[in-house]
Amino acid sequence: MSAKIIDGNQIARQINQETAMEVAVMARNHSVQPGLAVVIVGDNPASQVYVGMKVKKSAELGIYSVKKTLDKNATQKEVIDLIKELNNDPKIHGILVQSPPPPQIDEEAVVAAIDPQKDVDCFHAENVGKMLLGDKSGFLPCTPHGIMVLLERSGIDPAGKHVVVLGRSNIVGKPMMALLVQKAKGANATVTVCHSQTPDIAHYTKEADILIAAIGKPNFVTASMVKKGAVVIDVGINRIDDSSSPKGYKLVGDVDYESVSKVASHITPVPGGVGPMTIAMLMHNAVKACKIQRNIKS
């Protein structure tokens, strides 16, 4: 068998079109434009690329965006002061601080300083708590939410299924578990979370109806670890050397795509799977933040 490809680019385009329509309606009916501020501390090349993608997508969808760059030697106080300034800026409805910051910056303290109503990454404790409780008045984290939408729009219902999540990060693994176990449409799964201290991970992956890999190890999941007919979602983005590429490297996921695609029923590619959904859901959250702050109901 050959797996059906879950095309994240295509589904992200659908989400972005819907977001752009919402932005247009808000401008026409409420004379408001959602605003997003992206803060980057330092000159990490990968972070610069990610920030550039977010700013570009904002412009495409009609979202006002600003990029705030601080020197790599910026102090904790300088970062917090900038967050406070953005919290008080009525043109800015969403704030995100590109991760990871330099070592002198306490990322938890920075996140805690963001107004929860502007926390479009859903890293603030208030929004994390709402997510765990199933309270829809807050935000959902972009990558896990994107995966939930990928499943829904691909006709894959997790209800009653055994989902195995590889990885327990605060960005993907833990919130992914929380979303999947909710008593709600598109959830109701039985979830197992595996991590670096889990013995015999393959024992669990071979039992998964849906396998979500988010551990940051290139090509870790092989065909022998996957149950025939399973749905495989690959969150990993890893650079590996490739002398045949003009760049000298290529991007691969946490899943050995070539072998696993022969046993899975559905699979996400890397790139072009989960990645585009993360940015699409960020834009969605920026619009939601604007609606919350302006008390726009529709």
For the stretch 35-47, pLDDT in tens is 999 999 998 888 8
Give the model confidence (pLDDT) of 135-155 as tens digits.
989 999 999 999 999 999 999
pLDDT at position 244, please? 82
Mean pLDDT of 12-24: 98
Q: Is pLDDT at 1 greater than 70 in this prediction?
A: no
Question: Which two structure tokens, joined as six digits, stand for 163?
Answer: 């989902």
Catalytic residue among 57, 68, 98, 115: 98
Respond yes or no: is residue 174 known to be catalytic. no
Mean pLDDT of 200-204: 98
Distance of alpha carbon 69 from alpha carbon 86, whole angstroms: 13
Task: Write the burial class of residue 221 (CB in 10 Å: 0-12 exposed, 13-18 middle, 19+ buried).
Answer: buried
Is the alpha carbon torsion for 132, 135, 141, 143 positive or negative? positive
Secondary element (H or E) of residue 79: helix 76-87
- The pTM (predicted TM-score) of the whole model is 0.96
Respond yes or no: is residue 104 known to be catalytic. no
Mean pLDDT of 14-38: 97
pLDDT at position 246, please? 84
Respond yes or no: is residue 121 known to be catalytic. yes
Q: Is pLDDT at 169 greater than 70 in this prediction?
A: yes
Judge contact between 95 and 68, C-beta under 8 A: no
Catalytic residue among 121, 209, 254, 256: 121
Judge contact between 156 and 231, C-beta under 8 A: yes
pLDDT at position 50, please? 86
Give the model confidence (pLDDT) of 69-93 as tens digits.
999 999 999 999 999 999 999 999 9
Catalytic residue among 54, 130, 161, 291: 54
Map tokens 């917090």 to a residue: 80
Question: Which two structure tokens, joined as six digits, stand for 80?
Answer: 């917090």
Q: Is pLDDT at 236 greater than 80 in this prediction?
A: yes
pLDDT at position 291, please? 97
Distance of alpha carbon 215 from alpha carbon 221, whole angstroms: 10
Count the Cβ atoms, other than its own, within 10 Å of residue 242: 13
Judge contact between 36 and 120, C-beta under 8 A: yes
Q: What percent of the chain has pLDDT over 90?
A: 90
Give the model confidence (pLDDT) of 240-279 as tens digits.
888 888 888 888 999 999 999 999 999 999 999 999 999 9
